[in-house]
Every structure is written in C-alpha cells, then in structure tokens.
Structure 1
Amino acid sequence: MDKSLVVYNFLFKTVIFLIKRNELRELLDEIELSGDEVTEERKKMMANYVMLITGMTAAVVGAFSLLALFEGTMSIEAWMPFDPMESSMNLILSLQILAFCVFPGLCRAFAMQGLVCSMIMYLCDQLIHLQKQLRSLEYVKETEVVTRMKFKMIIRKHIRLMGYSMRMENIFKEYFLVQNLAVTVELCLNAVMITVVGVQQITLLITFFAYLIIALFNAYIYCYLGNELIIQSQGIALAAYESTWTSWPVDLQKDLLMVIVAAQRPLKLSAGGMALLSIQTFSQALYNGYSIFAVLTDAVN
C-alpha cells in the first residue's frame, strides 16, 4: 500500500505538470529573459538537492528490491506475462522490468520537484537582493536622477516578483495539494501498519519507516521553502523602513510607503488555496495524520 501511494502521488503530480506545462513554460521564459542573476553557489545547491533526493530514493528502492530478490519475492505486486516465481531467472527478469518501468518515472518526479524548489529559491534570492538594494539606497542631491532611477527599478522588480509568485501559486496549487494529502495519508497509514505489524516482521517495519521518512523529508522541503518565501517577502517592508528615507524628498517617501504597504501582504504558495506552504502547515499535516491514525487504531482494535 505504501508503494502504491508513492506511485499515485507521483502520477497525479505528473498529470498536473502536463496540464500546466504551457503556463509553466511561459513563466520560465519570462524569468530567463528578466536578466536576474543566480549565483553559482545557488545553482550548485539546486543541483545537489535533486541529486540528494534522487540518490536517497534510489538507495531505498534498490535496497528493498535486492532484499525482495534475496527472499524470493517481488518488490512490487505487478502482472507479468510469465510466472516470476517459476525460477530465479524469471524473478530477476521481473525485477528488471519493474525497474525499467518505475525508475524513469521516479527520475521525472524528482526533476519536477527540483524545478519547483529551484523556482522558490530563485524568488527568495531575488527578494533578499531587493532588501540589500533598499538598505543601500542613499539620496544625494547631486545624484538625484540616478537615485530615482534605482528606486524605480527596485519597485518594478518587486512588482515583477509579486507577479511571478501569483502565477506560481496558480500553477502549483493542485501540485502542492496532492503533496499535502499524500503526506497526511501516508503518515497515518504507515503508523497504523507499524502498530499492526509489530516488531516481529522487522523487514516490513523498516520498509514502512524508510518510505515515511522520504515522504516527510520531501514535504518538509516544500514547507520550509514556502515559509522562507513568506519571511523574505515580508522583509521587504523592514528593509524599506531601515533605508535612509528621512532624507528623501516627500514624493519618494510616499512611493516608499506604498512599497511598505504592498510588502505587508507576503508572497505565498498554497496547497489548493486551502493551506499555505509553511512550517505551521507541515506541523498541521503531522497532527492531522496522527489524528486519523488514532481513529484508525481504534477501528482496528
């Protein structure tokens, strides 16, 4: 059941990506043509994240596939045009067929996850850059034209980033909803199965724990980045207030006030428009999973 839930989770998110691919492509093209710079350190971090999650999952899937081969069973119950249990060669062939069918889909899913996380990191980095620009902005009468031009570019970039955030929320809200629901369901089902199985079947118990840890790790990454986006977008207001606005002309002060008011509404991503991606949402998902687990435990008992 845990493996089937993982497969359906990836399947639904892939379908959502295919439906939203034109909107996503347009957004990525705009970001690419915007001229915003991404540091090499951040690029390496984005790539390392994809490699890390892919390596972790490949290690878990590979370990349990080898264990299933050692025990003479199939890692995933699936139909084959031959009897996998007839001989060891048939069993190895069935595992190879499953790996050929499943692993490319997992790689695609992790590529999608890396793309989503990279886009959120990009927004956070650009917001941090805007904060630095606002704090370093100084008004001098001799360079008034330059200062006004810099401030105008800051405002334009802030508006552009707000537009990116709104479009990302519209594109990924169903994606994050599936992710949130899958984590909640997997948490409660794995907890129930652990209590039912007990420590006697240690292999099955470790399987449940391994898939649960990967699911929680993925959910935490999304919620952490969503929370960081909220914090950095609200930091624009603080950075504007900490600038040297007291020496600015009145018209610039009014424009700065508009920036502060706009930054009071943080940039955010949501799961189906029902829950924000934040650390609080991650905690709520854990709580919901435990609540369902308690109800199912009473039903089983």
Structure 2
Amino acid sequence: MYTSTIMFELLPIFFPDPKKNNLPLPLYLPYMPSDVPPYWHLNYAAHALINALAVCFLIAVDGSMAVSILSAVYQIRSLKQCLLELDTSAEIQALHRELVFIVQTHVSARKYIRQLEKLNAVNLLVIFCFICLLLCMGMNVIATDIWSPIWFFLVAALFKLFLLCYFGNRLIIESDTLADCVYSIDWVSMPLSEQRLVLIMIANAQPALEMNGIFMPLSMASFLSIMKASYSYYTLLH
C-alpha cells in the first residue's frame, strides 16, 4: 500500500502538469526557481524526501496499531484453544488451576484491549474523519477528470481504512464467539466452585470486545458506512 506512493514521484513522467512545473506536488523550495535545472532537481528531491518521511511515519503508526489489534485477536483465539483442550475429567486441583489461569488470561486480554482502545480512540476518529473528507474531495476531482492521478491516493487511503476495519472486525468476531466456546465445555460435570469460574468467564465475555473510534467501532460495518457517507457528501457538493 505505502510503496504505491512512489507513483506520486512518477507523476511528472506520466502526468506532466505545467501548473506545478512538472513536479509531483505544488510545493517549492523558497528563494529559488523551480522550473530550471538544477533547482528543479532539488525541488524534486525535496518532494521525494517528504514522501519517504510520510511513509515511514505512517508505517510506524498504522503498523503498530494493526499489530496490536492482531495481538488482541490471537489472545482471544488462544483462550478458545485452551478451553477446547480443557480436560474436565482431570483432578479437581489441576482443573481449578487451569480454569483460574484461563480466567486471569481473559481478564488481562480485556484490560489490554481497553487500554489499546483508550490509546487509539482519537487516532481512529481522525482517520475516520480524514478519509471520509478525502473521499468526498477526491471524487469531486475525479468527476471533472476521470484520469486524475488522485486515484492512487484514494486507493491507498481506502486500503488503509479497510485493513484496520478488517482487523477490528476480526476482534469482534473472535470475542463474540468466546462465550459460546466457554458454554460448550462440559461444565455441568464440574464441581460447584469450578462452575462458578465458568459462569464468571461467560459473564465477562459479554458483550463482544471491540475497538472504538469514539463515535463508531472499528468494523466492516463502519467501513461501509464511511463509503456511503462519502458518496452522499459527494452528491451534495456535486
């Protein structure tokens, strides 16, 4: 996704624009001409550097968020695997020890997801709002020029949003099925104290855990809502 931004640096070759002095961006170094060599090459190098810095920053921010969400997904998935492998016919002490470990791991996973949501709530809100505005403005440009190079930018932004929403949707699905996985074990044959631990975990597994961007969750439903809202704003402005 981020390597596709190299197309911005190739724009002067495929889509020369005299209004920008055939540079990728309408941005120039001060106190020097931008349309004659070697100053044109200096401006081009500055644009390439800005693009590289932006890509490195976005890879760090979005990559850490995506990996963190995936970590939460696999924590829930490992809990489900522990429940499937739980031997309800084991000795009481061993069964109790295993259930306590599962409950504590589930509590830790919930705390981790809540902390992750707290750290990224504002960031997700900014991403939602910015991409919605970007889609609206980009479609207005495309309406006047279907071959506009802004297509590359819109596709990269949409792919970023889709990736985050997909991971958030996986978290919702995994946590939503956790309660059913807990209930499916043979908890009826357990001693009363172990049954209470199972009931505690079933209660803690509801409702499903999700990442929220303050106003909307990180899910595929939110992705579709943003797409629909962007098209609605486009029709109003157009």
Equivalent residue, structure 2, for 1:210: 152
For structure 2, the residue ranges without an aligned partner over 5 or more in a row are: none
Aligned partner of 2:227 in structure 1 is 286
Q: How many residue pairs end up in the alignment?
A: 235
* Higher percent of residues as helix: 1
- What displacement does 1:61 show? 2.7
Q: How does 1:1-301 map to 2 (within 5 A)?
A: 53-57=1-5, 59-64=6-11, 66-67=13-14, 72-80=21-29, 81-85=31-35, 87-140=36-89, 143-197=91-145, 199=146, 202=147, 205=148, 207-271=149-213, 273-297=214-238
Q: Give the equivalent residue in structure 2 for 1:35.
A: none
Distance 2:229 2:171 in 1: 24
Counterpart CA distance in 1 for 2:41 and 2:14 is 12
Structure 2 length-normalised TM: 0.92
Q: Secondary structure at the match of 1:268?
A: coil
Per-residue CA deviation, residues 202-240 of structure 1 (Å, 9 max, x unaligned), is 3xx2x1211111111000111111111111112210110
SS in 1 for 2:38: helix
- For the 8 Å contact 2:2–2:156, the answer to whether it is kept is no
3-state SS, counterpart of residue 161 of structure 1: helix
> RMSD of the alignment, in Å?
1.8
Residues 138-181 of structure 1 deviation map (CA, whole Å, 9 limit, x = unaligned): 2225x221111111111001000100111111110010011101
Q: Percent identity?
A: 21
CA offset at residue 283 of structure 1?
0.5
Residues 97-142 of structure 1 deviation map (CA, whole Å, 9 limit, x = unaligned): 222233123212112111100000011011101001112212225x
Deviations 1:14-48 (A, max 9, x none): xxxxxxxxxxxxxxxxxxxxxxxxxxxxxxxxxxx
Aligned partner letter, 1:63: L
Classify the secondary structure of the residue corresponding to 1:192.
helix
CA distance in 1, matches of 2:150, 2:47: 20
Residue type at the aligned position of 2:24: S
Match of 2:222, as an amino acid? T
TM-score (norm 1): 0.74
